[in-house]
Structure 1
Amino acid sequence: MSPVEFEESSVIKVLGLRWCPSKDCFSYKVSLSQPTSCTKRRILSDASRVFDPLGFLAPVVVAIKIFFQDLWREKVGWDDDVPQELEKRWTTIRDELHLVESILIPRVMWSNRTNKELHAFCDASLDAYAAVVYCRSVDTNGNVTVSIVAAKSRVAPIKVLSLPKLELCGALLLTKLVDKIKTSLQEANIRVFAWTDSSIVLHWLSTAPKKWSVFVANRTSEIQSSIPFKSWNHVRSVHNPADVASRGIPPSLLSSTDIWWQGPCWLKKQPTEWPVSHYNVNDIPCDILEQRKSTKVQALMQGFWKRWHQEYLTSLQSRPKWQKAQRNLEVNDVVLLKEDNLPPSKWILGRVTEIHLGQDNKCRVATVKTINGSYVRPVVKLAPLPLTERPESSRGGQNVLN
């Protein structure tokens, strides 16, 4: 196949992204019309002209996203003028957008390199979280080249999340971005180094997901299935290029922010000179680890329930016939025969003629003579009458029953 020839001044355009074949670099073209008003509709129209599919302008784009979220919180109508403070912020960003046209990004990441690695960084602020990936390649002479591959940023949700949770969202964004890059480059076995400045995220990733709350468990499980914990490392915030994309910077500062385009300076050094991962789990407050409540409280709850069941629940329904000593029925005691389907006023009156003692000399069954005949009943079905004097056997029986 014969090579394709391009004119030296030719530029291939795809929306706002341009490729210059003579320099083999990507650049941007931002065409903004003259502002006639400052409404939400007009601001969105101008912002959509910044086309950045690979995320090279992520620090600028995230600043625009954060601005839009603030604009949304003000509940401004589409055709209403925005508040003066927000208008001033947008004017500053808009007036500097043309400065990104001077940025040139080399298209080629490596050529005839023997060793290739992907270094991915993630970070978060209370406003947004981001991830950026670099390719580090070493040629046969030991020369190291570091190139930015792609980046991605997201604004934090309006519902407030803690900073460690946002850092975890950044780690998940990093994982998805790395998977997409590996698929695009057709380099499934390329070595990946993941970097974060959050010791809490590293601690979450170092243990089984089931130990943590649902929010943390779902995300750590997805991260661990793609990037194992041994590939994760700790980096200081000042050496984390994703910090730039998580906070946002003005367009005028983007071209001079070297850490964004080339990564931290130590990436061009030997691996022995890279920062050593170090974090102390004991320094992490327990209340922000998002540990599952069941694992922390389950043992205490089970112990409490066992004692409550054994020591308190059984005392709610007293058993006086088992716990309190009672007088045995005796012959000639006057009793009422209990009937579940009759009111007490209709119970039949009777006299005990015989008692039946158990092995413990307790009377649990008695023979009772009534006006209708004799019956053998358990004592729980008899209601002794509290007579001060027990009737005589002959005269009392005749008086009661006849």
Structure 2
Amino acid sequence: MKQKLFHKIKLDDKTSQRELLRFVASIFDPLGIIAPFTIRFRKVLQAAWNHGPKWDKPLQLDENSDFGNLKKELSSFQDVHLPRKLLNEIPISSIELQTFTDASELALSAVSYPRIEHIDESVSVAFVIGKARVAPIKRMTIPNLELQAAVYGAQLAQFVKDEMDIKIHKQVFWSDSTTVLYWLRTPEIRRRIFIANRLAKILDVSSAQDWFYISSTRNPADDGTRGYNIHQMHVNSRWLCRSVVKQTVRQCIPCRRMIQEVAAAQMADLPEFKLPRDNHQVFQTTGLDFVETEWVFNPPAAPHFGGSWERLVQIFKLSLYKVIGSRTLSDDILWTLVCEIESNMNSRPLTNVTSEINDPLPLTPNQFLLGRASVNYPPGLFETQKVTVSRSWKSAQELASHFWKRFLCEYIPNQQTRSKWNKTSENLKVKELVWLLEDFTPRSLWPLAKVIEIHPGSDGVVRSVKLNTPHGEKVRPFIKLSKVLTNK
């Protein structure tokens, strides 16, 4: 669906301040679609006003010439149509609001584009709103004007977020002023009141990590401050064109560091050694002759490689930390506490717990380790004469067989579910550049690394790699990496 932007406007032959003001006030462009053109009228009006209010007197020669040229452009201008539809039928994965700001001695400008990523990994960008206004009559330095434009952009982005019915997952701001970016990244330094107040307004609706540098030649907001000829007003212009946002995000390495998703390899199948075969029962060969065993170690910073047992390590640590806190325990008390935690963990259900009273109790690790659900011995006294060896052995075998069947039918299938990492992704390749995720380190400080060796699994999926980093070679899992360049 497309809508006509505006129709041809009839202009009087008069060239006075009144006529100029009447025309500027008559333009209805709430989305700022033609702001790069209308800002030229506003500049002429401000220049005329600087000579004093002379409502019905002819404009000065240069002002009259500028206004006459603008009227001629309008008289020969053809109607322009712009697609109104912001979203297509493909389900959305995430939406980033990209906002560009710029300032010159004569004007301030800001323009916003939603960058939409879809579940099929396609990306679409659309013009949503743009604004341009003349600079204050009182002269200001360029850095101060750029700062005011940044406030303008932050407020514009907040307006879009408040008015749109779709969720904005992330906002990104662009400015071609390194001074403004420095001010935003050093809020602890005391500034003049003018600067401090405007920094507070910006940081009230955004963070310093949301702001990035862009050169003036690639900044679409630069059109809003310079202005352009009405014949440049078409859907492929930089102000309305969507490709400029895609190119800017793709080519800007620092911003990709901030918005790039962390890599995630598809979760592997359940290892074969965990599946029953040849009637081997659980724990049958535990602890036996590992002299000829080839040990395969997990890469550093990859506890998820351990699967369920590493999850138990985490549960044990958390339980220990929560109970002990900052206290110092004696050896006996610590040993008792560890045994209690062990008992509770081994009493956890491995199969589903139902509310039906007649259903069998869920399997627990204690039933395999001790032959009973609880670490406590069963109550009661039994006469030795009434318990024969053969009867005791048959009872134990029957109980073990019962546990084993339930283990195969109820527990093993639960180990093959994939709650995450269930999509295939492109494998990393040797010589690819990645960012190395480090704990307790912000994205902006993630080091750059180069893949020098890949370690694919039996299914061909790469889940760990060897990297060449600024601090030497390191082996890291796939989920601790973020690609620098992707096909998006």
**Normalising TM by the smaller chain, what interval?**
0.5 to 0.7
TM-score, length basis structure 2: 0.49
Structure 2: how far apart are the matches of 1:222 and 1:209? Answer: 15
Q: Is the contact made by 1:194 and 1:233 (CA closer than 8 Å) also made in structure 2?
A: yes
Match of 1:30 in 2: 8
Aligned in 2, Cα 1:68/1:272: closer, same or farther, shift over 3 Å?
A: closer
Q: Say yes or no: does 1:166 pair with 2:145.
A: yes
Which residue number corresponds to residue 54 of structure 2? 77
1:191 deviation in Å?
Answer: 0.8
State whether residues 182 and 190 of structure 1, in contact with CA within 8 Å, keep that contact through their aligned partners in structure 2.
no
| Paired position in structure 1 for 2:414 | none
| Greater mean alpha carbon deviation, residues 253-262 or residues 143-152 | 253-262
Change (3 A) 1:129 1:263: farther
Answer whether contact 1:209 1:216 (CA < 8 A) is retained. Answer: no
For the Cα contact (< 8 Å) 2:218–2:248, is it kept in 1?
A: no
Give the structure 1 partner of residue 122 of structure 2. Answer: 143
**2:73 aligned partner:** 96
Cα separation, 2, equivalents of 1:83 and 1:272: 47
What code does the residue aligned with 1:131 have?
Answer: A
Number of residues of Structure 1 aligned to a counterpart in Structure 2? 254
Distance 1:164 1:191 in 2: 26
Write the distance in 2 (CA, Å) between the matches of 1:55 and 1:275. 30
Matches within 5 A, 1:284-363: none
Q: CA RMSD in A?
A: 2.3
Mapping for residues 166-315 of structure 1, pairs under 5 Å:
166-187=145-166, 189-208=168-187, 211-255=190-234, 258-263=237-242, 265=244, 267-268=245-246, 273-276=251-254
Q: Cα offset for 1:99?
A: 5.7
Q: Which range moved further: 245-254 or 127-136?
A: 245-254
Q: Give the CA deviation at 1:257.
A: 5.9
SS of 2:26's equivalent?
coil
Structure 2 distance, partners of 1:89, 1:256, is 25
1:153 aligned residue (125, 128, 132):
132
Deviation at 1:83, TM superposition (A): 1.3
Alignment partners' CA distance in 2, 1:273 and 1:53: 31
Q: Alpha carbons of 1:25 and 1:145: their partners in 2 closer, same or farther (altered >3 Å)?
A: farther
Unaligned 5+ runs, structure 1: 1-22, 279-402
**Matched letter for residue 48 of structure 1:** A
The structure-2 alpha-carbon separation of the partners of 1:164 and 1:100, relative to structure 1 and needing over 3 Å to count, comes to farther
Q: CA offset at residue 100 of structure 1?
A: 5.7
Give the 3-state SS of the residue equivalent to 1:259 in structure 2: coil
* Whole-Å separation in 1 of the counterparts to 2:248 and 2:19: 50
Alignment pair present for 1:68 and 2:63: no
Change (3 A) 1:105 1:98: farther
Identity of aligned residues (%): 27
Maintained 8 Å contact 1:122/1:130: yes
Which of 87, 108, 125 does residue 85 from structure 2 map onto? 108
Q: 1:191 to 1:275 in 2, by over 3 A?
A: same
Distance change (3 Å), C-alpha of 1:120 and 1:271:
closer
Matches of 1:117 and 1:100, distance apart in 2: 34
Q: 1:151 to 1:248 in 2, by over 3 A?
A: same
**Deviation by residue 1:131-188 (Cα, 9 ceiling, x = unmatched):** 0001111223332211111011121111100000000000000011111100111345
Judged with a 3 Å threshold, the aligned counterparts in structure 2 of structure 1 residues 216 and 250 are, in CA distance, closer, same or farther, namely same
TM-aligned CA deviation for residue 209 of structure 1: 6.0
Describe the superposition over 1:378-398 as per-residue Cα deviations: whole angstroms up to 9, x where unpaired.
xxxxxxxxxxxxxxxxxxxxx
1:121 aligns with 2:93: no
CA distance in 2, matches of 1:209, 1:247: 34
Give yes or no for contact 2:95–2:168 (8 Å, CA) kept in 1.
no
Structure 2 CA distance for aligned equivalents of residues 264 and 197 of structure 1: 19
Q: Greater strand percent: which structure?
A: 1
Of residues 67-76 and 116-125 in structure 1, the stretch that sits farther from structure 2 once superposed is 67-76
Partner Cα distance (1:270, 1:152) in 2: 20
Q: Deviations over 1:29-59 (max 9, x none)?
A: 23214x2321111222223332111111110
In the TM superposition, what is the alpha-carbon distance from 1:120 to its structure 2 partner?
0.2
Distance (whole Å) between structure 1 residues aligned to residue 198 and residue 246 of structure 2: 32
Which of 28, 33, 44 is the aligned partner of 1:56? 33
How far the C-alpha of 1:268 sits from its partner, in A, is 2.6
Report the Cα distance in structure 2 between the residues aligned to 1:83 and 1:55, rounded to whole angstroms.
Answer: 29
Measured at CA, do residues 150 and 99 of structure 1 come closer, stay the same or move farther in structure 2, by a change above 3 Å? farther
- Structure 1 length-normalised TM: 0.59
C-alpha separation between the residues in 1 aligned to 2:248 and 2:14?
54
State yes or no: 1:133 paired with 2:119. no
The Cα shift of 1:229 comes to 0.6
Shift of the 224–209 alpha-carbon distance from structure 1 to 2, 3 Å rule, reads: farther
Distance 1:74 1:217 in 2: 33
SS at 1:255 equivalent: coil
User: Which has the greater radius of gyration?
Assistant: 1
- Asked if the contact 2:146–2:177 (Cα under 8 Å) also holds between the matched residues in 1, the reply is yes
Contact 1:126 1:166 in 2 (8 A): yes
Following superposition, the deviation at residue 24 of structure 1 comes to: 3.2
CA distance in 2, matches of 1:114, 1:162: 42
